[in-house]
Amino acid sequence: MRIAAYWSQTVRGILRIAYKLLVNDRAKFAALLVGITFAVFLMVQMTSLFAGVLFRASATVVNVGASIWVMDPAVQTVASSIPMPDYMLDAVRSVEGVKYAVPISSGSGLAKLRDGTYQAVNVVGLDDATLFGRPGLLQGDIRDIYADNGFLVVKDSEFSKLENPKVGTDFEINNHRGVIVGIAQVASSGLFGIPTLYTTFTRALEYLPQQSFTISYILVEPKSQNDVARIKSAVGRLGYLALTKQEFMSQISRFYMYQTGLGLNLLLMTIMSFVVGLSISGQTFYTFVLENLEKFGALKAIGAKGYELVYMILFQAGFTALTGYGLGVGICAGLLFSAKLKVPDYAAVITFPILALAFVMVLIIAGISSYIGVRKVLRIEPFDIFRG
Amino acid sequence: MAQVAIEARGVSKWFGEGETRTVAVHDVSFEAKFGEILYVVGPSGSGKTTLLSLVSGILRPNEGTVAIEGVDIWKLADNALADFRLNRIGFVFQDFHLFPRLTTAENVALPLFLKKRDWDQSIAEARKYLEIVGLKNRADLPPVKLSGGEQQRVAIARAIISSPDILIMDEPTASLDGDTGRNIVSFVRNNILNDKRCIVVVTHDARISEFADRTLLMEDGKLKGIEKGNTHA
């Protein structure tokens, strides 16, 4: 309350002056806004695309929803599974603290469509006994997955690549007959733009080319959260790796970020957008301050204190930054929204960390821009005004 | 006997040190009284503007003291001195230094904003002062739409809106043609000067000399003499 009163009584007038000086210089204000808006737009757009890609890369982990994933230590993404021997399933089941453990297989197949063309598909084989990790069904009966050649097809943006199959539609997969027995939906579509089919673990082994080992992952449910560490340790002693769902997603993110060049490109784009924003707004703000420098000096002579002039500069920089930030985020969100109307599974997501990152970047731009202005204004001596 | 408004004693100012040291003002003493217009004249580089800055609390002297209404201004802390200037001294700059992006009324009201006065009341007050300087109908225009003489009047209105005891005018006619310059100074003499105000004018414009009560003659940073004169009166 006291702070509000202070601001109201002491700085409202000079801030209003600062505001008018800023927005009444329309050309410079527009240039400042364009610089910051463009920088924010670029950054939010790039990082939201990257976040979308990372989220999609973990689609299977999200959709299956297991608490703990046991895998070969060399696995880096869920799509690049390394089969494990069957005895691992029993070994994991015997670990203290494991409530249950089931196998899952994941692999790629080639579907031959009715028009004779081929379409790559991702086939997920669920544990025959429990069907743990099964998707929700839009059409069909889950029990039909046990019927001959039964497959569930996920209805996502890739669904049409299988010619929009219906329950009862048949096709060939790796030269075996398959029949759609259910239309499913999942929380997240995959990254690679291929349709996903679900079937039983046993049928997946029949349909997909196999090596001597067959289990892609072992999905584990601990008896309690306290057992997670024990399970991870016991699996580690067996020479394999147990990761929680969140850890597995983080590992996948790290892989794409640090080992594919995506992260480096993102960093470069972020730096570029920062530099572009800083260059445009910094230069324009500097010109703006220079243009008013003698007037600020005159204000000093009249009786303005240094900190009041600093308030004015900071307010101008802050107001421009926040307006540009709002515009940048708004335009980006609008464009992503439009894109998602056209492409429902468009891989982009604006997260709070992205907004926070862009906000920090904008604050830095505003800080650097205003620092230059503040230095100039503090250095101007009223005597210089008299001297002309 | 008029009260002393400004008392400068042994004021000196130099820039640089050693071989590069340049003395701008050397050992100048004078008094300015309320109710008078005091001119500071001299050739270019004689130290007029430096002296004006020293006595108005803008440039700290190397030696000497400056007292305004008995207050030794150079003993004040920076913020206190800024407040002192804001409340007691009005400035009219040679190039006016009006903000082109503000209206005329907002420019005039600037000292009141710095004094944390209410915005609307300040603007209303500024309109009154614009009326005093004959620019009532120009209040909502930007200064760039005004002539040089009108801009000078706006600058005067801004300088006097906080009712300062001391009015400092730096080359008030330098940017104006002869007639306009005379009109401005005449206006100041007749409407702005009063018994409780002292006006110090730096000028080298001989055409307005008639409006001075006294004139300080500066040369090479030294006070060469004080001439009395108010042919206007």
pLDDT digits (tens, 9 = 90+) for B159-213: 989 889 999 998 888 777 777 788 888 888 888 888 889 999 998 887 788 888 9
User: If we measure between CA atoms, which residue out of A212, A219, A251 comes closest to residue A92?
Assistant: A219
Residue A137 pLDDT: 86
Distance CA A203, CA A177 (A): 11
Q: Which of A10, A11, A302 is most worth mutating to test chain B (most B CB atoms within 10 A of its CB)? A: A302
Provide CB contacts within 8 A for A379, sequence distance 6+.
none
pLDDT tens for chain A, 388 residues long, are: 566 666 565 567 888 999 998 998 899 899 889 988 988 998 898 889 888 888 888 888 888 889 999 999 999 988 888 999 999 999 999 999 999 999 999 888 888 888 888 899 989 999 999 999 888 889 988 899 998 889 999 888 788 888 888 888 888 888 888 899 999 988 877 777 788 999 999 999 888 877 788 899 999 999 999 999 999 999 999 999 999 999 999 999 899 888 888 888 888 888 888 888 888 888 888 888 888 888 888 889 899 998 999 999 999 999 999 999 999 999 999 999 998 888 767 778 899 999 999 999 888 888 888 888 888 888 888 888 776 6
Whether residues A232 and A266 share a domain: the answer is no
Whether residues A141 and A231 share a domain: the answer is yes
B-chain residues within 8 Å CB-CB of A382?
53, 58-59
Distance CA A238, CA A88 (A): 8
> Are A207 and A112 spatial neighbours (Cβ–Cβ below 8 Å)?
no
Length of chain A: 388
Residue A3 pLDDT: 63
In Å, how far are A89, A165, A192, A202, B49 from A180, measured between CA atoms?
29, 7, 22, 17, 94
Tokens of B186: 């005449």
In Å, how far are A83, A189, A193, A204, B71 from A209, measured between CA atoms?
12, 24, 21, 9, 98
Whether residues A158 and A218 share a domain: the answer is yes
A78 inside domain: no
B-chain residues within 8 Å CB-CB of A300?
82
- Please check the confidence at residue B41 and state whether its pLDDT lies above 60: yes
User: If we measure between CA atoms, which residue out of A150, A143, A127, A6 comes closest to residue A66?
Assistant: A127
- HSE (CB half, 13 Å, CA atoms) of A318? 9
Residue B63 pLDDT: 95
CB atoms within 10 A of CB B13: 23
Cα angle at A338 between A333 and A343, to 5 degrees?
A: 120
Last residue of a domain, one of A239, A273, A301: A239
Residue A6 pLDDT: 60
Distance CA B64, CA B68 (A): 14
Residue in B with minimal Cα distance to A10: B116
Q: Do B58 and A387 touch (CB under 8 A)?
A: no
- Amino acid symbol at A142: I
Q: Do B53 and A382 touch (CB under 8 A)?
A: yes
Q: Do A383 and B53 touch (CB under 8 A)?
A: yes
- Amino acid symbol at A220: V
Residue B231 pLDDT: 43
Whether residues A208 and A267 share a domain: the answer is no
Task: Using the structure block, give the residue that is written with the tokens 């070994």.
Answer: A91
Residue A157 pLDDT: 78
Residue A182 pLDDT: 93
A232 inside domain: yes
Q: Which of B50, B74, B93 is most worth mutating to test chain A (most A CB atoms within 10 A of its CB)? A: B93
Residue A8 pLDDT: 60
Domain range holding A116? 85-239
A70 inside domain: no
Whether residues A131 and A192 share a domain: the answer is yes
Residue A295 pLDDT: 83
- Amino acid symbol at B14: W
Whether residues A91 and A159 share a domain: the answer is yes
Q: Do A303 and B114 touch (CB under 8 A)?
A: yes
Q: Do A20 and B95 touch (CB under 8 A)?
A: no
Closest-CA distance of chain A to residue B41, Å: 15
Closest-CA distance of chain A to residue B191, Å: 21
Nearest CB to B116; choose among A9, A300, A385: A9
Q: Which of A22, A25, A294, A386 is most worth mutating to test chain B (most B CB atoms within 10 A of its CB)? A: A386
Per the structure, the count of domains in chain A is 2
Whether residues A152 and A91 share a domain: the answer is yes
Distance CA B141, CA B103 (A): 5
Whole-angstrom Cα Rg for chain A: 30
Return the number of CB contacts < 8 Å for A and B.
91
Distance CA A106, CA A83 (A): 9
Whether residues A228 and A275 share a domain: the answer is no
**pLDDT category of residue B232 using cuts at 50, 70 and 90:** very low
B23 interface with A at CB cutoff 8 Å: no
Orientation angle between helical segments B104-114 and B148-160, nearest 10 degrees: 20
B-chain residues within 8 Å CB-CB of A24?
101-102
User: If we measure between CA atoms, which residue out of B186, B193, B188, B125 comes closest to residue B156?
Assistant: B188
Whether residues A97 and A225 share a domain: the answer is yes
Q: In this predicted model, which residue has the larger pLDDT, A376 or B30?
A: B30
- Amino acid symbol at A41: F
In Å, how far are A205, A347, B197 from A59, measured between CA atoms?
22, 11, 81
Q: What percent of chain B has pLDDT over 70?
A: 97
Task: Using the structure block, give the residue that is written with the tokens 């004018």.
Answer: B201
Distance CA B96, CA B171 (A): 10
Whether residues A114 and A228 share a domain: the answer is yes
Tokens of A96: 């203290």
Domain annotation for chain B: domains and CATH numbers: 4-228 (3.40.50.300)
Question: What stretches of chain A adopt beta strand conformation (E)?
Answer: 68-71, 98-112, 118-126, 136-140, 150-154, 170-173, 176-185, 196-200, 217-222, 241-244
State chain B's mean pLDDT as an integer.
89
Whether residues A285 and A372 share a domain: the answer is yes
Whether residues A270 and A359 share a domain: the answer is yes
A246 inside domain: no
B85-119 per-position pLDDT tens digit: 999 999 988 888 899 889 999 999 999 999 988 89
Q: What is the mean pLDDT of residues B40-62?
A: 91
B-chain residues within 8 Å CB-CB of A13?
112-114, 116-117, 119, 122
